[in-house]
Structure 1
Amino acid sequence: MAGGVLAFPLTSFREDGGLDLDAYRRYLTAQVATSPGALFPACGTGEFSALDEDEYRAVVTAAVEIAGGRLPVVAGTGYGWAQALRFARIAEEAGADALLVLPHYLVAAPEDGLVEQLRRIADGTRLPLIAYQRGQVTFTPDGVRRIAGIPTVVGLKDGHSDLDRLQRLTLAAPEGFLFFNGAATAEIQARAYATVGVPAYSSAVHAFAPEIADAFFTALREGDDPAVTALLRDFYVPFVELRDRVPGYAVSLVKAAARMRGLPVGPVRAPLTDPGPEDLAVLEAVLDAGLKLAGAERPRTA
């Protein structure tokens, strides 16, 4: 999966809030056509927590069908282990290749409980699991050794961006255990993560501008520092500054940018809110700057 951008597709909703499966399938087809390293449906960017079980089944099934075996499909799951297992079994039936275990709901927990949470999920599904440490989930080197000892736990996605801790985790893990940069707008820290042996990263930008995401990935892989710096300075940093204005913009802005590009994703679901006119104007300018750097442009409407 380090051979391409990891895509985290949005989930398409109608204006009345209902799931728009036909639109979602069209959107997924466009995402898969850009040849990402893997497809992660119904995860954070895909508003996993806003989906009921029937919607989740439809979303994951569509992703598997459209991927068509050309790339791995890693579905999100989460909440407490009992509910996570319900989603895990749906994903397994739908043909997903693996699961990303999102942080559990609400409560803080000791590491013994975090390990047991993963063990319980692993005991109930044959699918490989990738743990996601973010929010209230944080592992120590000993914890990583313990979760890596669970046969189907194959990796860890990191959203804390504590590189000192992450380096210790990578050194504690057995050979072949996977690590992913899961920071919000991960490209901002991609160079830093690579220095501690974690080159693979998720890209929310791919959900609305695969041209920008691919341009950055290629420049980073080829060591084109001027191109990396220009994309960071003129697109990624302004995007992150806008994202940080309002809670939930990590998803809301991504959907708004996708709509600007004519992608059929619809609005976000509550408790998220769509951006207002002032922030949309800023987003439009930032998006156009990024597309220009990537040698692309946004279609204009009359």
Structure 2
Amino acid sequence: MFHGSMVALVTPMREDGSIDDDSLAGLIEFHISHGTDALVAVGTTGESATLDEKEHCALIRRVVELVDGRLPVIAGTGANATTEAISLTRCAMQAGADACLLVTPYYNKPTQEGLYLHHRAVAEAVPIPQILYNVPGRTAVDMLPETVERLSHIANIIGLKEATGDLGRLEQILDRCGGRLDLYSGDDATAREFMLRGGKGVISVTANVAPRAMREMCAAALAGDRTRAEALDAPLQALHRDLFVEANPIPVKWALYEMGLIPPGIRLPLTPLSSQYHETLRAALRQAGVLD
């Protein structure tokens, strides 16, 4: 249902931490004009962990309203409480989102059976298409391929964002799930190879600042054109690395501020990018051709 360069959209904030609606609207137009294939709102990069449920739902509704059907909207609705994940997912469906992205429950470290039952409960409670999201580096739990395979038999679970960066994991899941799930990279550094090996796209941090280049690279990789995909990806390598010099979304929000696209706001406990990394990130932006 979804493919290509799907931006893990930041949530623009003023210095006092309030959400900046004007900048949000501007970012959405920026992505539409640069060919981004889909928007993923209120995920990790959108600071979902520091938004309360009312803000979370309101932001999804606003993104859907601003997009106005011009490209797909995938709403981040994961939570470490199953009841909260159901509530957020229902809210996203009512807001008109095209699908939901549900991170594995974090912090409480469920078993594989707990992961299966959690995602099954959300899928059974809310019929919207759902994409699983595995990012053990942030959640402290790893959804194993056998659990993904069990979940792939649930009709409205349609995809998996796999953010381990392990290409061997991609091959295991492809073998187990066949055509039942679309697989998306959650790791920009390995996304090109992920798509060349059968993935359908990337949910990308880099696409926030280099949307056209990421869209073109993804199109080449999905077409199986390795030479062109590698050539397009080469100038982005520094961004893939340096947008993670501190915890995401600290660097990408600073980069977008440097590009004049958003205010500098970010919510505690996250803090603005340390000054020692400013020139590193400027150099990566220049190499990608998005900053003079």
Q: TM-score, normalised by structure 1?
A: 0.86
Determine if contact 1:252/1:272 at 8 Å carries over to the other structure: yes
Partner of 1:181: 185
Q: How many residues were matched structurally?
A: 287
CA contact (8 A) 1:114 1:137 kept: no
Distance 2:143 2:159 in 1: 12
Matched, 1:286 2:288: no
| Map of 1:54 onto structure 2 | 54
Q: How does 1:64-75 map to 2 (within 5 A)?
A: 64-75=64-75
Is the alpha carbon distance of 1:138 and 1:200 closer, same or farther for their aligned partners in structure 2, counting shifts above 3 Å? same
Candidates 162, 165, 170, aligned match of 2:169:
165
Q: CA RMSD in A?
A: 2.3
Cα distance in 2, alignment partners of residues 235 and 142 from structure 1: 33
What is the aligned partner in structure 2 of residue 101 from structure 1?
Answer: 102
Do residues 81 (structure 1) and 82 (structure 2) align? yes
C-alpha separation in 1, matches of 2:226 and 2:179: 29
- Distance, in Å, in 2 between the alignment partners of 1:225 and 1:267 is 39
Name the counterpart of 2:21.
21
- Give the Cα separation in 2 of the matches to 1:115 and 1:97: 23
Are residues 1:32 and 2:32 paired?
yes
Q: Identity rate of aligned residues, in percent?
A: 28
Written as runs of structure 1 = structure 2, the 5 A alignment for 1:1-302 is 3-79=3-79, 80-135=81-136, 136-183=140-187, 186=188, 188-218=189-219, 220=221, 223=225, 225=227, 228-229=230-231, 231-232=233-234, 234-236=235-237, 238-246=238-246, 248=247, 250-291=248-289, 297-298=290-291
Q: Do the aligned partners of residues 66 and 147 (structure 1) sit closer, same or farther apart at CA in structure 2, a change above 3 Å counting?
A: same
* CA–CA distance in structure 2, aligned partners of residues 49 and 206 of structure 1: 21
Q: Which amino acid is 1:225 matched to?
A: T
Counterparts of 1:12 and 1:191, CA distance in 2: 28
Task: Give the drift of 1:264.
Answer: 2.1
CA–CA separation in structure 2 for the residues paired with 1:243 and 1:174: 33
SS in 2 for 1:100: strand
TM-score, normalised with respect to structure 2: 0.89
CA–CA distance in 1 between the matches of 2:72 and 2:261? 23
Shift in Å at residue 221 of structure 1?
A: 5.1
Given that 1:13 and 1:268 are in contact with CA atoms closer than 8 Å, whether structure 2 keeps it comes out as yes
Q: Provide runs of 4+ in structure 1 moved above 6 Å.
A: none
Name the amino acid aligned to 2:135.
Answer: R
Q: Does the residue aligned with 1:180 lie in a helix, a strand or coil?
A: strand
Secondary structure of the corresponding residue to residue 265 of structure 2:
coil
1:19, CA displacement in angstroms?
1.5
Instruction: Check conservation: 1:9, 1:207, Cα contact below 8 A.
Output: yes
Measured after TM superposition, the shift of residue 140 of structure 1 is 3.5
**Amino acid of the residue matched to residue 283 of structure 1?**
L
Structure 1 unpaired stretches of 5+: 292-296
Does the CA-based 8 Å contact 1:155-1:179 persist in structure 2? yes
Gaps of 5+ in 2: none
Report how far residue 203 of structure 1 moved. 1.8
User: Is residue 217–residue 228 contact of structure 2 (8 Å, CA) maintained in 1?
Assistant: no
> Offset of 1:263 from its aligned partner?
0.3
